[in-house]
Chains A and B, each alone.
Chain A
Amino acid sequence: GAVVSQHPSRVICKSGTSVKIECRSLDFQATTMFWYRQFPKQSLMLMATSNEGSKATYEQGVEKDKFLINHASLTLSTLTVTSAHPEDSSFYICSARARTSGSVTDTQYFGPGTRLTVL
């Protein structure tokens, strides 16, 4: 149980294009999903917190107009990198918190990640 998928696993795009990454909780409902960015040999940096049916909460320094997040259902959140540039190249990872008590002690389950390369 508690499987989170991401699609695509790898994407290469040209500078200026937009890329959409999907995050799905396959066998549980997730009221809250999180989007992280990870640079090589570094820890995960939280970009935003996404609650189903409401606007995402972005971390300081993350441009909300560049990284559009939509949490349309209890099993799906999407991250769209708009007008991507080479500096946006990174490993993007989502996580989902199961809809149990909705507490901060609930475990976050992570997707396998999406490798974005912007040429």
Chain B
Amino acid sequence: DTGVSQNPRHKITKRGQNVTFRCDPISEHNRLYWYRQTLGQGPEFLTYFQNEAQLEKSRLLSDRFSAERPKGSFSTLEIQRTEQGDSAMYLCASSLTTGDSEQFFGPGTRLTVL
């Protein structure tokens, strides 16, 4: 399977703990995006990378959130000191560089903060 993969698929954690999610994009895609989706809503843009450079971060992304894409391949999203409001589906997507390229989404990581 050569689609976007994300791990873990589900994560349950206690408030205050740190969590890290991983995304492996489609191999030839140099753009990678992170979104957050809550029940009944569309995906909300969090951040995006062009190769290893993080080029934009949403105001939704507080200081507790950090994302990396160290070698321009896989990416990690870390949430420190999780809060109950962080409970959501975290989606990763990737695309080619050209502006009219579709974004291919991964299956997501569902985070539940107790």
Asked if A pairs with B, the answer is no
